Amino acid sequence: MKRRLMILMAAAVPLAASLTPVAVNAATRDGGTTAATTCAAVPVSAPPGTAVVSVKAVAKAGGDFTFPSTPGLPQNPPINAVPAWCDINVVVTHPGANDTVTIKVSLPQDARNWNGRFQATGGSAYSAGDLSDLSVPLISAVKGGYVGAATDAGVKTGLDASWGLTPDGEINTGLLTNFASRSVHDMAVIGKDVANKFYHRTVRYSYFTGCSTGGRQGYAEAQNYPTDFQGILANAPAIEWNRFEIATLWSQAVYNEEKVAPSQCELAAFNTAAVAACDTLDGVKDGVIDNPQDCTWDARRLVGTRVVCEGKEITITKAVADAVNKIWAGPVSPSGKKLWYGQNKGSAFNYIANPGAPFQVPDQWAKYFVTKNPSFDSTKLTYQTFTQLFTSATKQYDSIIANNNPNLSRFAKAGGKLLTWHGQSDQLIPTQGTVDYRKHVNATLGGNKRVNNFYRVFLLPGVDHCGTPLFSTGPLVNPGADLDALVNWVEKGHAPATLPVTSVDGKTTSNIHHYPR
């Protein structure tokens, strides 16, 4: 179980590794060069409701950085020739919340290596951000000439959500508020303040970058704090948190009600068949379903087919095929009311469809937040109890962490730009949730053409969660191209019509057009 969550967290890391554009227009003072800045603490101003506890500075030598490898996970490439930088660690608290939050701000020590930009970074799973000594997002930011920042929101870890309950079994509203929205706003205000005082110059442009939980954090910022960032890169966003998290447990109810427990080998056979059937719907045979919503292939067509799994021949049954169709269709109530989207055909079942082994992130959300019962067993779900759990989750927490407000008018008026890409083979967060949100924004703010002026979505065929080689069969966004596109949009007014992508094997390049194309 822990390994599966580690893969989720690793999925968000390669994105950060790609956020390494070459430093542009290295800033100077009074038209000349500036000397290296002393790595020392600066006075920090915090937003209302946030109190500064301590400020400490740690000098970092820079150089070449390699990152530990983990079997079965994508390897982060080394980051070389990183200039020396200064980590300023700001500890804050929120009176009445009894919390301790650390914000790390990483600043190129020589002002000539700073491009005048600020880049806040997001987290994954239950982590609000990576503050480690080998933080890929922060080292990448410094390498790219940015002042980077990350926050732990006071929750410290992404591996469990036990922080959600106080010792007396009540919801820790302070930490939940931090995780849902407050921590990134604090990071934005404090991070830019630190940069301004460190260099004695004002940040010219501020950006946020993140995927998954980081994507949700970016959307929360656009909705709640529309002037914090001029550009937000929020990929595979975990918006509609309650719906998609609880929807991830739907497979447990399906398996229980249909009385089946298929192996991953059996499940993979359905995806193989679906891709074979729908590959050429776009006129190109490339082993990828271009738009899964166009694929009407029925899992029951595989009934009676024999597959070999671990040396044993298995015949696909109607019951298993029915279960797969239900997982693809997404959760419904016992009366047939659609509750949320299922995962797209072609996306791996390995995480959210293991019989008797629910994915840890939604399982813990159900335990520590929805039911407030650490002993809650999601492997026992039925269609009836699933619906009850889903309804309870949305009633309790939508106002806190859904981050689904479609009225982005304040963000648009402030001149903000929001850029998102989401893989059509995302195995953790249904792509249609992002499409659903975009449609609501269109309806709220005057249609697709107007919304495209400040918010663009790219749907990537065959790409998995946060774009890794783990399960992606379609081309991945070129490293750094998404942030480059956002910077050009914010600073030069060049709205991205396409994003450059390269096949997993590195042999083919192409361009992906923005939604709805």
Shared-domain flag, residues 181 and 214 = yes
Shared-domain flag, residues 405 and 384 = no
The phi and psi torsions of 191 (rounded to 5 degrees) equal -60, -45
Q: Does 385 map to a domain? A: yes
Residue 32, pLDDT > 60, answer no
Shared-domain flag, residues 177 and 73 = yes
Predicted pLDDT at 158: 81
Residue 36, pLDDT > 80, answer no
Q: Does 14 map to a domain? A: no
Shared-domain flag, residues 146 and 293 = no
Predicted pLDDT at 164: 96
Shared-domain flag, residues 228 and 253 = no
- For 295-416, strand residue ranges (E) read 306-309, 312-315
How many separate domains does the chain show?
A: 2
Q: Does 19 map to a domain? A: no
Dist CA 474 CA 155 (whole Å) = 35
Shared-domain flag, residues 478 and 409 = yes
Last residue of a domain, one of 356, 389, 422: 389
Which residues have CB under 8 Å from 140's CB, separation 6+? 16, 17, 18, 19, 20, 79, 148
Shared-domain flag, residues 314 and 424 = no
Q: What residues pair up with 211 in beta bridges, in sequence order?
A: 235
The phi and psi torsions of 101 (rounded to 5 degrees) equal -115, 135
Shared-domain flag, residues 272 and 311 = yes
Average pLDDT for residues 259-271, to the nearest whole number? 97
What are the tokens at 363? 């399982």
Shared-domain flag, residues 249 and 214 = no
For 69-83, 154-168, 238-252, which range has the lowest pLDDT when averaged over its residues? Answer: 69-83
Residue range 399-427, pLDDT digits in tens:
999 999 999 999 999 999 999 999 999 99
Q: Does 415 map to a domain? A: yes
CA nearest neighbour of 241 among 217, 210, 207: 217
Domain that holds residue 263: 243-389
Predicted pLDDT at 138: 98
Average pLDDT for residues 221-225, to the nearest whole number? 98
Predicted pLDDT at 75: 80
Q: Does 475 map to a domain? A: yes
Dist CA 274 CA 353 (whole Å) = 17
Q: Which of 465, 472, 484, 514 is catalytic?
A: 465
Q: Is the peptide bond before 500 cis (omega within 30 degrees of 0)?
A: no
Average pLDDT for residues 284-296, to the nearest whole number? 95
Dist CA 132 CA 307 (whole Å) = 45
Predicted pLDDT at 72: 67
Residue 20, pLDDT > 70, answer no
Q: How confident is the model at residue 159 (pLDDT cuts 50, 70, 90)?
A: confident
Do 466 and 186 meet the contact criterion of CB atoms below 8 Å apart? no
Shared-domain flag, residues 229 and 115 = yes
Do 130 and 87 meet the contact criterion of CB atoms below 8 Å apart? no
Torsion of CA 174, 176, 178, 180, to 10 degrees: -150
Residue range 119-144, pLDDT digits in tens:
999 999 999 999 999 999 999 999 99
Predicted pLDDT at 6: 44
Which 8-state DSSP code applies to residue 404? -
Dist CA 33 CA 447 (whole Å) = 47
Last residue of a domain, one of 389, 418, 446: 389
What mean pLDDT value characterizes the chain?
Answer: 92
Active site residue 422: no
Shared-domain flag, residues 206 and 280 = no
Torsion of CA 295, 298, 299, 301, to 10 degrees: -120
Q: Does 71 map to a domain? A: yes
Q: Which of 99, 228, 363, 426 is catalytic?
A: 426
Residue range 73-94, pLDDT digits in tens:
778 899 999 999 999 999 999 9
Q: Does 46 map to a domain? A: no
- The pTM score is 0.94
Percent of the chain residues topping a pLDDT of 70: 93
Q: Which of 206, 212, 347, 472 is catalytic?
A: 212
CATH code of residue 98:
3.40.50.1820
Active site residue 426: yes
CA nearest neighbour of 150 among 164, 161, 166, 139: 139
Q: Does 411 map to a domain? A: yes
Residue 101, pLDDT > 60, answer yes
Percent of the chain residues topping a pLDDT of 90: 89
Last residue of a domain, one of 359, 389, 419: 389
Shared-domain flag, residues 235 and 247 = no
3-state SS class at 362: helix
Residue 35, pLDDT > 70, answer no
Predicted pLDDT at 8: 53
